[in-house]
Amino acid sequence: MVAVMKTDMGEVDNGTMRPKVVDAKGILRQNREFLDYFWDIAKPEREIRLKAVESLIEYLKKSEKSDELKYSLKRLVDSLSHTREDARSGFSLALAQLLSVFEEISLKSALDSIKGKYNLQTPNKKAIRIAVFGNFFGVLALSQSTRLHKEPEVLLECVHILQSLSQYREYLKDLPRKTMVDILSETSKEVFEEVLFNALKSDLTSALNTPEQLELLLVAIQKFPSVLKPKKLKKLLGTTTVITDESLPKLVGVLKTAARSVKKDAVLPPVALDLLQASLREESFEMFWNEAIIKGMMSEMPGHTHYLSFRLLGAALPLLSVSQIEFVLTGDVMRHYGEHVLSAQLPDRFKFSPEMDKYISEFLQVCADADRQLAVVLGFTQLTNQGYPVVPSFWKVLEHMVLPAQQKYVEWLQEAFCDPQLDKCLDFTTRRQLFEREAKVENESCVARFRTWIIQRLAFIAENHQIKKDEDLIMNVARFIFFHAFFDVKKSTSEIPETTRALALPIDKQTRATMASAFYSILQSLNMMPVLGDLSETESLNSRRIVGFKADGSMWIYCLVQYAATLLDQSKYAQIVQAFSPEQRQAWDSMLESVEDLRKKAKKSSSPEHTAFQNLFLLIGIQMFKSPEESLDLLKDLRSCMERAQAKKSKKKKAANGKSSEEEPHWVEVIVEILLSLLSQPSRLIRNVCKVVFTRICPHLTQGGLNSILNVLDPNKDEEESGVMVTDEKEKKKHKVAEDEDEEEGDEDEEDDEEGSDSSDDDEDDDDEAMDDGEDVDQNFRLDLMKVLQGQNALVKEEDGSDEEEMDDAAMMQLDGSLSALFLEQKKKIQAKKDEKDRLRKEKVLVRDFKIKVLDMVEVFLLKQGSSPLVLSMVDPLLSVIETGMSSETSQQEQDYLRKAANIFKNQLCRGKYYCREIDGREAELHEMLERLIGRAQKLSDSSVSLYYFSAALYVVKVLRGVVNEQESTSSEANMGKLDVARVTSCFRDALTSSMTRRKTPLTGAMFIDLFTRFPVLCVNLLDTAVENITGGLREHQQGQACAMVLKAVQSKDVKNLMSDKQWAELYEKIVRQLIKTFENVPSKNKTVHEKMVKAMELCQFIVKSVKNTRMPVKLELLQDVLKTMNDDESLQKPGQLEDIYWSVMKFFGVVKPKMKKVKKVVEVEQTEKTTKKKKGFLPETKKRKNRMKSTVLEGKETSTTAETPEGTSGKKKKKNKKRKRQGEETQAQTPAKKAKQQPKKKKQKGGDKQ
């Protein structure tokens, strides 16, 4: 493992066989851990390498042994040229740390060791590579030791080595020059002036030739400005500065060379950034940018030179002032960047925009100056293509802007929206747009595009929680968007800041629609936004997860409604775009009064009822600007609902209140109806507010309100109520009895708001129906066509002669008119039927989407009120939804609906944390429900649906059992609560017997195993039935399930605690008797029998193990005898699951599995001998063409008989193998039959040509 080296610490005996290590001083034996450090240093994992270096240095510090230190130095120097890059860097780092810690080792001796080990003058190419790596990583270690400046001679020698290594770019690329730059940056002024300047003079003089030499000069100027004064630069370069008119062409060439060198790495060359910093120091930045970058680099075709310019632009941002940033971001580099962003949208194109976003993010994080941040963001915002900014409106870099810059940016966006001065933007047109003649775009279109982008950017700033902002900024954005979406300015006033900005151009309808959508999106975000402000003020509020409120306790939506009311009242300053009718305005004022009343009542005594009504009033009120007529009806219903709720509270103490409450619906029921009406609208805001409101009214929900929700999910009412739902969702004004034209318009509206996908099964059903209808239509149409032709005497009959005269022109024209009218009518009928089917399909999709939203309410109720008695009324509707969904279509929307319903039923209802515990007086009802569920589970044909019914039955059992006392959970049946154990046991016993004796049953063994696990009392009562079915089951599969159930039962400690020792022993005896019968009568083995035997053997294994371990008085002699007879034919000595369990059982009886003797036949030995004699590179005899069809040696026959075997046998086998490789899954019996079928086909083909 360890290479043996000639050192002072050990002797080497160079023998002819293997070197013998003589560890005279016992160092190797003393601590093997010391040698393991070097192996860890060479490992590819970086963490392991670093830890090994640290451990090695600590070990050497504690050891204080010179031999180990010398060995370490020698070992590290010899490993510098390791074949792997990770190992080379690891050993170089270890050597650097060693030299840094142990200063008694001189750098001169270390450098001599490196030069002695690695000679660059060797002529061998492989040795050259080793020497290059050894010298470089050795010098790198010396430079990283932080001691190089203390020994100038070694420093100078290292620089000379690095200069000589610069020619080996195929191995090191530009690493020597980078190391030289690092050495310069750590060198003192005196050492540079006295030692290095003369050594580097040749490189500094030719600095304008290569990027490495130029970078060396720039670093030296930056590090030692007092040494490289203008006079010395004049001697070196001929000019007092680096950037001059004469040097710019050479600098451009150097930059292009640097761009080509990093083409694959996609990074910014350091020389480019150093050159830009030099231009800033020499106050020639504008000249450098215009001449070197724009005229030099950007004059090339798009490629690596452009990307270098883009990277230089991004990296230069932290170094520039505000005026320089504006100068850079308004030039040709930005224009080319915009063209690249547009062209990179095509697939398989390199995209530079993520890299630029990273540069901007780093700049915004480093720079805290608001003016510079604003200049950068505005520069990229004003880069437009035909009015539309290139950067996306959803720009994550804005998260790093400081709040003052964010406020100024929002003000600029609002000013640009009102007065879009596109001439100040850096607008461009791509070559493709010029080619397609799209350059001439009207100014109004550009303004609309620009305004749309601004609205999206403002909405992003308001909605993104990561962006730094305060409440005033959010309200400013929301008010601005709301005002220009629904109002126009009539006269400016200071009371409404939005009127102080005049619009240069009017806002078009499409932009207003975009603004309305953006406003409601902001409202949705505000409704879910936590409280903003100082941590000390908002910590208590946020700890309660209060969302949708400001720091002062008012709701965001309330503030916006108040702002809207102000605008409506100030009609001389602001005019609404779509004016309210008197009735709508009255409803608006009434809504405001109701909200104020609710706020006053909430201050006196907070109630979920008040908050729910307030949320609904505000939500429906703000919706009036979008759909006033629909909101009007909802406000009326909500108003009447609130009045009834208040009247009920005021008359609660009166005796006559009972009659009135029975006549009118409860206020919660009316709210539920309103929520259902709102959910039919395709709005995330409405859906979220409905969810919040329903969460708050859940504790007050009545059976009637819950029935309203469950009636929506009832699959039996789809056909009756789907049309009503659709009209409620989309068109309150239109009814089901409207004309066809109105229906088609409604379908168009529905198609715009549709959120579902088409159903594949629906399409198939529609196609089938279309075919059926088509047959009827074709038949009727055929009759009508025959009537027309007969009426015009144009139908040719059999008795007509062929010499009959043709029709005249008038008759032909009349026939053409009749035919065209007939075909036109037929076309209208087909289109009408097609439209009707399309309408019904869209209605079905809308209804299904509506039901998915209603399931959210069911889930909320189960989460918040899982212990309510109302939960029991959800069992049957949810099961009906699951059962209908399992047997219906398989569209994606239907699958989502079914998956959501099944998930709610399984996780939130059956296995929820809380369940119903108040069942006083409902015991009989629940027992009947349990029997009904079990009966339905037995009658179903689908086992997956039956599982849900069985789970519901177990939930009912849990409800009847109630809370379980942990100390007496399994002590007796008395702890089963209000459960009638005998009745329930009889019900489950019938189900278990049915599942074991019926040929086709949906009940599975896993269902009863779940029952046994969760309810041990019922398990004890059903154990006898399960044991009897070990042999009494109808089929082997059912008998195997009985074995699995019994095994699960006897493994349960709770079941054992419920039975006495005598009962437990009797149970074991019954099981043993059943197992004896099972093992005695083993039918012909197949897959089902094998699975049954495996489960029976697992049960037998547990029974025998328990009896042996607990010394239970159970006789096992007969079982042992039966088990022994099972292996009379030695069929259980092969490896397999059943065989392994069998021998583990027999091991308890002292019988060990006999070892199988491997018998090798003579023929096989001969074959192996032949195969061993084969030579590499030669074909075996059987593969040669002349012997290909000869058969191979068969087992059990002599070699003389094998030659007489027909050739067809081996040929068939080989062909079968080839066919199996091609087709993969064909059996041996099928292949010859297929081959036999193929041969006659070839003969027929040959014979067919002759015929």
- Please return the burial class of 311, using the count of CB atoms within 10 Å of its CB with bins 0-12, 13-18 and 19+: buried
Helix pair angle (608-622, 628-650), 10° resolution: 160
- DSSP-derived letter for residue 503 is P
Strands 20-22, 426-428: pairing is unpaired
Quick check: helix, strand or coil at residue 189?
A: helix
**Confidence at residue 1160, expressed as pLDDT on a 0 to 100 scale:** 53
Which helix (DSSP H) or strand (DSSP E) does residue 13 occupy? strand 11-13
**Confidence at residue 1178, expressed as pLDDT on a 0 to 100 scale:** 57
* CB 403 within 8 Å of CB 470: yes
CA distances from 430 to 439, 464, 1041, 1074 (A): 8, 32, 73, 86
Stated pTM of the model: 0.68
Rounded CA-CA distance 1038/738 in Å is 59
Rounded CA-CA distance 87/79 in Å is 8
Burial 700-738 (b: 16+ CB within 10 A, else e): bbeeebbbbbbebbbeeeeeeebbebbbbbbbbebeeee
Count other C-beta atoms under 10 Å from residue 1163's C-beta. Answer: 17
Count other C-beta atoms under 10 Å from residue 455's C-beta. Answer: 25
- Reduced 3-state DSSP string for 526-588: HHCCECCCCHHHHHHHHHCCCECECCCCCEHHHHHHHHHHHHHHCCCCEEECCCCCHHHHHHH
- Reduced 3-state DSSP string for 841-888: HHHHHHHHHHHHHHHHHHHHHHHHCCCCHHHHHHHHHHHHHHHHHHHC
Residues sharing a CB contact under 8 Å with residue 1062, sequence separation 6 or more, in sequence order:
none
**Confidence at residue 493, expressed as pLDDT on a 0 to 100 scale:** 87
Q: What is the largest CA-CA distance in the chain?
A: 131
Quick check: helix, strand or coil at residue 1086?
A: coil
**Confidence at residue 1232, expressed as pLDDT on a 0 to 100 scale:** 38
Helix pair angle (875-887, 892-903), 10° resolution: 150
Pull the structure tokens for residue 1085: 């083995």
* CB 985 within 8 Å of CB 1018: yes
**Confidence at residue 889, expressed as pLDDT on a 0 to 100 scale:** 66
Strands 383-385, 426-428: pairing is parallel
Rounded CA-CA distance 770/595 in Å is 54
Token match 């060439």: residue? Answer: 253
CA angle 972, 973, 978 (to 5 degrees): 140
Strands 20-22, 574-576: pairing is unpaired
Residues sharing a CB contact under 8 Å with residue 377, sequence separation 6 or more, in sequence order:
397, 398, 401, 405, 409
Pull the structure tokens for residue 1177: 């590179």
Burial 646-685 (b: 16+ CB within 10 A, else e): eeeeeeeeeeeeeeebeeebbbbbbbbbbbbbbbbbbbeb
**Confidence at residue 1244, expressed as pLDDT on a 0 to 100 scale:** 41
Q: How many CA atoms lie within 13 A of 107 on its CB side?
A: 25
Count other C-beta atoms under 10 Å from residue 1009's C-beta. Answer: 17
Rounded CA-CA distance 689/693 in Å is 6
* CB 328 within 8 Å of CB 316: yes
Residues sharing a CB contact under 8 Å with residue 941, sequence separation 6 or more, in sequence order:
1000, 1002
Instruction: Compute mean pLDDT per 10 residues along the chain, 1251 residues long, and list them.
Output: 36 41 51 81 88 89 82 89 88 89 86 85 78 88 84 83 80 81 80 79 80 83 81 80 88 90 83 90 91 91 90 93 93 91 83 92 92 94 91 92 93 92 86 65 82 94 90 93 91 87 88 92 86 58 65 88 91 88 90 88 75 84 86 81 68 47 66 82 75 82 88 71 41 39 42 41 44 53 72 54 58 76 81 85 82 89 87 90 80 84 89 80 88 91 91 91 58 71 92 90 92 91 92 90 93 90 91 90 79 91 90 87 83 81 87 70 48 54 55 41 40 44 43 41 41 35
Pull the structure tokens for residue 132: 């290059």
**Confidence at residue 963, expressed as pLDDT on a 0 to 100 scale:** 67
**Confidence at residue 797, expressed as pLDDT on a 0 to 100 scale:** 52
Of the chain, the end-to-end C-alpha distance in Å amounts to: 81
- Please return the burial class of 808, using the count of CB atoms within 10 Å of its CB with bins 0-12, 13-18 and 19+: exposed
**Confidence at residue 977, expressed as pLDDT on a 0 to 100 scale:** 78
Residues sharing a CB contact under 8 Å with residue 545, sequence separation 6 or more, in sequence order:
530
Quick check: helix, strand or coil at residue 904?
A: helix
* CB 482 within 8 Å of CB 519: yes
* CB 859 within 8 Å of CB 691: no
Rounded CA-CA distance 573/499 in Å is 7
**Confidence at residue 517, expressed as pLDDT on a 0 to 100 scale:** 92
